Amino acid sequence: MRKARLWGLLWTSFILELQGAPRSEEIKYTRTEGQSLSESCPFNVMKYFSIRKAWQRLGDRGEIQTLAITDRVSGQSSKVHVDRCSLEDIPTEGILHVHMTDLRVEDSGLYQCVIYQPPKAPVLLHHPIRLVVTKDPAQDLAQRSTLPPVTTKARVKTRTNPSPVTQLPASESTAGLGVNPTHGTDVLSMEPRISVISTVTIVVCGILSKSLVFTFLLIATQRSFGR
């Protein structure tokens, strides 16, 4: 079953060369981060039996990055492994197997299987492959759940009292002033009471002094008349 499939790929490649079919048509693969990509690139055994093959990445501006190159072989299968990319060249079957593991988002791009024979230009073996790697939804959700919660600090406005309140000690409060030592008393509010009490005190003192003078004069007059 596998041989039949491989021969089918070989014949497809041979027919494409004969018919001059458009080789630039892309094949698109979509993968999730951590998954792998496998592709089989058929080649003409009669022409490229012992020639090296390569797996390349094409940049946005047409620059070429060669990721892996097979060894020169003489009818024997060979396998190379470079970083996360591996190539297996099977000349007897005319197939180049490409395998990329642990895909990442930055691996997204355009790739191609080619016959590698510098300084000559590479010969495209298969349709260019457009690889799209997306984030793993489960991993993205786990990362979001581990982020610390965003807290909003409330702004507290402090009210300032332009006129400070002075609390009198209990020893300085008197019943006549009507001061309650358990409550703070504003000094300014006490000024009218103090002025009234002072006035009353002065008047009373004046009346008492006049009474004393009058009494003294009365006693002196009575003594003078008694003589």
Task: Provide the pLDDT confidence category of residue 159 given band limits of 50, 70 and 90.
Answer: low
Full-model pTM: 0.54
Instruction: Give domain status of residue 34, yes or no.
Output: yes
CA geometry: angle 128, 133, 136, nearest 5 deg: 160
Q: Per-residue pLDDT tens for 4-35?
A: 544 554 544 544 444 343 456 899 999 999 99
Instruction: Give domain status of residue 35, yes or no.
Output: yes
* Neighbouring-strand partners of residue 88: 79, 97
Structure tokens at 18: 């004969």
CA geometry: angle 128, 129, 131, nearest 5 deg: 150
**Residue 123 · residue 116 · CB < 8 Å:** no
Domain-ending residue, one of 102, 119, 137: 137
Q: How many domains does the chain have?
A: 2
The pLDDT assigned to 24 comes to 63
Q: Are residues 196 and 131 in the same domain?
A: no
**Residue 122 · residue 70 · CB < 8 Å:** no
Instruction: Give domain status of residue 52, yes or no.
Output: yes
Q: Are residues 111 and 219 in the same domain?
A: no
Q: Are residues 47 and 121 in the same domain?
A: yes
Q: Which residue has better confidence, 140 or 164?
A: 140
Structure tokens at 23: 């080789």
Q: Are residues 123 and 21 in the same domain?
A: yes
Structure tokens at 59: 């940049």
Q: Are residues 132 and 199 in the same domain?
A: no
How many Å separate Cα 124 from the centre of its chain? 43
Residue 68 has pLDDT above 70, yes or no: yes
Domain that holds residue 126: 2-137
Asked if residue 128 has a cis previous peptide bond (ω within 30° of 0), the answer is no
Q: Are residues 129 and 49 in the same domain?
A: yes
Instruction: Give domain status of residue 91, yes or no.
Output: yes
Task: Provide the pLDDT confidence category of residue 208 given band limits of 50, 70 and 90.
Answer: confident
Q: Are residues 62 and 131 in the same domain?
A: yes
Domain-ending residue, one of 73, 108, 137: 137
In the sheet that holds 85-90, the strands lie side by side as: 37-42, 95-100, 85-90, 78-82
The pLDDT assigned to 182 comes to 46
CATH of residue 107's domain is: 2.60.40.10
Residue 174 has pLDDT above 50, yes or no: no
Residue 131 has pLDDT above 80, yes or no: yes
The pLDDT assigned to 185 comes to 45
Q: Are residues 132 and 67 in the same domain?
A: yes
Q: Per-residue pLDDT tens for 75-88?
A: 788 899 999 999 99
Q: Are residues 93 and 202 in the same domain?
A: no
Highest mean pLDDT of the ranges 12-16, 54-58, 75-79, 207-211: 54-58
Pairing of strands 37-42, 95-100: antiparallel
Q: Are residues 14 and 104 in the same domain?
A: yes
Instruction: Give domain status of residue 117, yes or no.
Output: yes
Q: Are residues 195 and 109 in the same domain?
A: no
Domain-ending residue, one of 97, 119, 137: 137
Task: Provide the pLDDT confidence category of residue 95 given band limits of 50, 70 and 90.
Answer: very high
Q: Which position has the token pair 């507290």?
A: 156
Instruction: Give domain status of residue 40, yes or no.
Output: yes
The pLDDT assigned to 170 comes to 47
Q: Are residues 25 and 111 in the same domain?
A: yes
Q: Which residue has better confidence, 6 or 211?
A: 211
Q: Which residue has better confidence, 44 or 199?
A: 44
Instruction: Give domain status of residue 76, yes or no.
Output: yes
Instruction: Give domain status of residue 148, yes or no.
Output: no
CA geometry: angle 130, 132, 134, nearest 5 deg: 175
- Per residue, the 3-state secondary structure of 79-108, as one string, reads EEEECCEEEEEECCCCEEEEEECCCCHHHC
